[in-house]
């Protein structure tokens, strides 16, 4: 019998104990993987390649305040700016208040919009149809599938912010990965029906020539409006999205705190199990030593067992997290879960590495104690 098969057999000797330990570790690692994925989505992920060239200008204080329409041409005059479109959040309610029916509805300028959203793939004839119809709308393919919409369908929208119920016709269906599940229609159409909204925009979405321009252009825009009636805040699309997250409070510390608690919990659980399992085998250790197994051999056997258990739990946890995140990003119930969130291979490996390390550390002390047992005493042990 080889050392590794000996370890594997021992790991699953007490099936119930191993299973419970594994399950316990797997839930902790599920949480750890989830937290790491959230961290990656918020702070590491750069988003799709096109988005690194996009910046957003909004009111310095809050998105709730609209910017004047003439800002658009002023922004366009800044060197490095390739395209500018006005964007306004119309609402997210559809049919009724149920969150399962909720999706983002924004208005923009259809003529220039394709320049800043080249990653949204639309058939050219549909795009043209959308640009020509002032009451036309463009929707995400996932959204169209969910509600069973086809080109030419008419929808009535409603908004918590605008006192109107515009009727729009679906003229184009776009595809993008990851899906953004939004409906986009013409800002002019909204301006026509809402008097006070004329000549305003919620924010400006800007395409710059290269990723290197992001910082200088953002700075130039904000400086230009320094003494204007409304000061602006310009930042990358990534930072813009992150600002929604940071408004929740100190999210980084929050995530780190949970991760710390989780890792420590696994350490305890795993250490506990190993201590129990090794104690029950005191006599066996003595027998092994009588047979000529060295201390190092015994030590590595037990540590190996501990690592095997943790990693097995880790695999379960990572799989669980992957499944959970896939479920969340594809479900319409969980609003606010970024569609781009997924468990990447490095995240998985990191989780498993944590599992293995924890298994190693937690196995060391009980295994060391076991390897030091006096043979005669061990043989006498009644356990």
DSSP strand E in 298-352: where?
none
Q: List the interface residues with other proteins, window 10-29 (CB under 8 A).
A: 16-17, 20-21, 23-28
DSSP-based three-state secondary structure for 83: strand
Site string for other proteins, 277-316 (x = CB under 8 A): ----------------------------------------
- Looking at the Cβ atoms of 169 and 243, the one nearer to other proteins is 243
Q: Is the dihedral of CA 40, 41, 42, 45 positive or negative?
A: positive
- Looking at the Cβ atoms of 207 and 306, the one nearer to other proteins is 306
Determine the Cα–Cα distance for residues 177 and 183; give it in Å rounded to an integer.
Answer: 16
Smallest gap, in angstroms, from Cβ of residue 20 to other proteins? 4
Smallest gap, in angstroms, from Cβ of residue 173 to other proteins? 31
Candidate list 31, 301, 309, 341; residue touching other proteins; CB under 8 A: 31
Q: CB-based contacts of 160: which residues, under 8 Å, 6+ apart?
A: 91, 93
Smallest gap, in angstroms, from Cβ of residue 208 to other proteins? 23
Determine the Cα–Cα distance for residues 29 and 24; give it in Å rounded to an integer.
Answer: 9
- Looking at the Cβ atoms of 186 and 200, the one nearer to other proteins is 200
Tell me the CA distances in angstroms from 80 to 35, 44, 215, 224, 233, one per residue in order.
37, 25, 11, 14, 17
272 part of the interface to other proteins, by CB under 8 A: yes
Smallest gap, in angstroms, from Cβ of residue 62 to other proteins? 4
Copy the structure tokens of residue 119: 């990653």
Candidate list 124, 148, 152, 336; residue touching other proteins; CB under 8 A: 336
Determine the Cα–Cα distance for residues 62 and 55; give it in Å rounded to an integer.
Answer: 16
| Cβ–Cβ < 8 Å for 185, 138 | yes
B/e letters for 340-359, b = 16+ CB within 10 Å, e = fewer, are bbbbeeebbebbbebbbebb
Q: List the interface residues with other proteins, window 231-270 (CB under 8 A).
A: 246-250, 257-258, 261-262, 264-265, 268-269
> What value does the CA radius of gyration of the chain take, rounded to a whole number of Å?
29
Smallest gap, in angstroms, from Cβ of residue 171 to other proteins? 33
Q: List the interface residues with other proteins, window 48-87 (CB under 8 A).
A: 60-62, 64
Smallest gap, in angstroms, from Cβ of residue 279 to other proteins? 9
Candidate list 271, 314, 359, 378; residue touching other proteins; CB under 8 A: 271
Smallest gap, in angstroms, from Cβ of residue 31 to other proteins? 5
- Looking at the Cβ atoms of 17 and 146, the one nearer to other proteins is 17
- Looking at the Cβ atoms of 233 and 289, the one nearer to other proteins is 233
Smallest gap, in angstroms, from Cβ of residue 205 to other proteins? 21
| Cβ–Cβ < 8 Å for 88, 187 | yes
Q: Say how far residue 109 (Cα) sits from the centre of its chain.
A: 29
Smallest gap, in angstroms, from Cβ of residue 248 to other proteins? 6
Among candidates 254, 364, 260, 248, which has minimal Cα distance to 304? 364
- Looking at the Cβ atoms of 16 and 150, the one nearer to other proteins is 16
The dihedral formed by the CA atoms of 174, 215, 69 and 158, expressed in degrees to the nearest 10: 40
227 part of the interface to other proteins, by CB under 8 A: no
90 part of the interface to other proteins, by CB under 8 A: no
Q: CB-based contacts of 57: which residues, under 8 Å, 6+ apart?
A: 67, 71, 75, 203, 204, 206, 221, 222, 232, 233, 234
Smallest gap, in angstroms, from Cβ of residue 278 to other proteins? 12
- Looking at the Cβ atoms of 217 and 274, the one nearer to other proteins is 274
Q: CB-based contacts of 155: which residues, under 8 Å, 6+ apart?
A: 94, 137, 149, 167, 168, 169, 170, 183
Interface with other proteins: number of residues (CB under 8 A): 36
Determine the Cα–Cα distance for residues 332 and 71; give it in Å rounded to an integer.
Answer: 36
- Looking at the Cβ atoms of 257 and 346, the one nearer to other proteins is 257
Q: Which residues bind other proteins (CB under 8 A)?
A: 16-17, 20-21, 23-28, 30-31, 34, 60-62, 64, 246-250, 257-258, 261-262, 264-265, 268-269, 271-273, 275-276, 336
């Amino acid at each position: 019998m080889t050392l590794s098969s000996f370890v594997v057999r021992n790991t699953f000797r007490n099936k119930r104990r191993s299973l419970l330990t594994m399950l316990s570790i797997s839930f902790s690692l599920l949480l750890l993987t989830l937290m790491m994925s959230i961290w990656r989505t918020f702070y590491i992920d750069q988003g799709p390649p096109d988005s690194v060239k996009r910046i957003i200008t909004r009111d310095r204080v809050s998105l709730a305040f609209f910017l004047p329409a003439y800002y658009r041409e002023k922004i366009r005059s800044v060197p490095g700016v390739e395209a500018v479109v006005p964007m306004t959040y119309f609402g997210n309610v559809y049919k009724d208040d149920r969150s399962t029916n909720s999706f983002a509805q924004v208005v923009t300028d259809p003529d220039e919009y394709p320049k800043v959203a080249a990653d949204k793939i639309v058939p050219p004839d549909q795009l043209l149809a959308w640009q020509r119809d002032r009451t036309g709308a463009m929707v995400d393919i996932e959204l169209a599938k969910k509600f069973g919409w086809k080109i030419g369908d008419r929808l009535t929208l409603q908004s918590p912010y605008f006192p109107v119920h515009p009727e729009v016709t679906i003229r184009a269906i776009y595809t993008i990965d990851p899906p953004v599940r939004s409906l986009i229609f013409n800002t002019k159409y909204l301006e026509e029906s809402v008097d006070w909204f004329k000549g305003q925009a919620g924010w400006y979405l800007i395409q710059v020539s290269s990723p290197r321009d992001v910082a200088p252009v953002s700075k130039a825009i904000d400086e230009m409006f320094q003494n204007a009636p409304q000061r602006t805040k310009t930042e990358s699309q990534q930072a813009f999205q992150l600002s929604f997250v940071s408004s929740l409070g100190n999210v980084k510390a929050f995530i780190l705190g949970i991760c710390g608690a989780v890792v420590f919990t696994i350490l305890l659980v795993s250490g506990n199990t190993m201590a129990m399992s090794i104690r029950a085998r005191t006599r066996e250790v003595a027998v092994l030593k009588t047979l000529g197994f060295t201390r190092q051999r015994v030590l590595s056997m037990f540590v190996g067992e501990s690592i095997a258990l943790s990693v097995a739990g880790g695999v379960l946890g990572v799989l669980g997290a992957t499944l959970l995140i896939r479920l969340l990003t594809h479900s319409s119930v969980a609003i606010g879960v970024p569609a781009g969130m997924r468990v990447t291979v490095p995240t998985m490996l990191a989780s498993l590495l944590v599992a293995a390390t924890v298994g190693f550390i937690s196995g060391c002390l009980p295994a060391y104690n076991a390897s030091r047992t006096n043979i005669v005493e061990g043989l006498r042990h009644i356990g």
